[in-house]
Amino acid sequence: MPPAASTSYRLTTLWQFEAPLAPVWEAIVLAEAWPTWWPGIESVVTLAPGDAHGLGARRLWRCKSALPYRLSFTTCVTRIEPLRRIEGQVEGELEGRGCCRLWTEGGLTQVRHDWQVRTTPLWMNLLAPLTRPLFRWNHDALMRAGGRGLARRLRA
């Protein structure tokens, strides 16, 4: 089995939009709509809606990568600060946690995604020592597509 370090990832993506913070937040928290604007997000199914703000919401995600594979995982929202932050745990073919923070700076809405995850599929973990840079590139490509898709949705 490869060392855990080769199957664990710390990933950060920053998006910037010429759009007000509120519509960016709304698009991000309405996860079920992501497949309409985010290429690579094939489906999002709400398993439990959580409270009025979405705390405790559980969703099943299916993502198609730029490479010829798909990942499925479940998220659970563990923290919400409306218009500022959403955090969650992830389990399945990815395990770990993610955080999305929003703020305005210089007239732009900033969105920072941070993921601390590890892969669980055996084939990915066996190949990870060799393919780690490719998996990182794939994540970055998916996130770039999401940023472009959200910009189009916001007309930003």
Q: Please give the tally of structural domains in the chain.
A: 1
Tell whether 3 is covered by a domain.
Answer: no
- Single out the residue of 137, 143, 136 nearest to residue 117, CA to CA: 136
Joined together, the tokens standing for residue 52 give 């009025």
Q: Specify the pLDDT at position 5.
A: 65
Tell whether 5 is covered by a domain.
Answer: no
Residues 104-137 pLDDT 10s: 999 999 999 999 999 999 999 999 888 889 999 9
* Phi, psi for 60 (deg, rounded to 5): -100, 125
Tell whether 2 is covered by a domain.
Answer: no
DSSP state of 33: G
Tell whether 96 is covered by a domain.
Answer: yes
β strands within the chain, DSSP E: 8-17, 41-48, 58-64, 70-81, 85-92, 94-105, 108-119
Q: Check which CATH number belongs to the domain holding 121 and give it.
A: 3.30.530.20
Tell whether 73 is covered by a domain.
Answer: yes
Whole-number average pLDDT of the chain: 94
Q: Specify the pLDDT at position 3.
A: 54
Joined together, the tokens standing for residue 45 give 């199914």
Q: Is the pTM of this model over 0.95?
A: no
Query: pLDDT band for position 66 (50/70/90)?
Result: confident
Q: Specify the pLDDT at position 126.
A: 92
Joined together, the tokens standing for residue 127 give 């190949």
Contact status, residue 40 vs residue 64, Cβ threshold 8 Å: yes
Token pair 């659970």 is found at 76
Tell whether 1 is covered by a domain.
Answer: no
Query: pLDDT band for position 6 (50/70/90)?
Result: confident
Is 29 a residue whose pLDDT tops 70? yes
Tell whether 31 is covered by a domain.
Answer: yes
Q: Which domain holds residue 70?
A: 13-154
Is 79 a residue whose pLDDT tops 70? yes
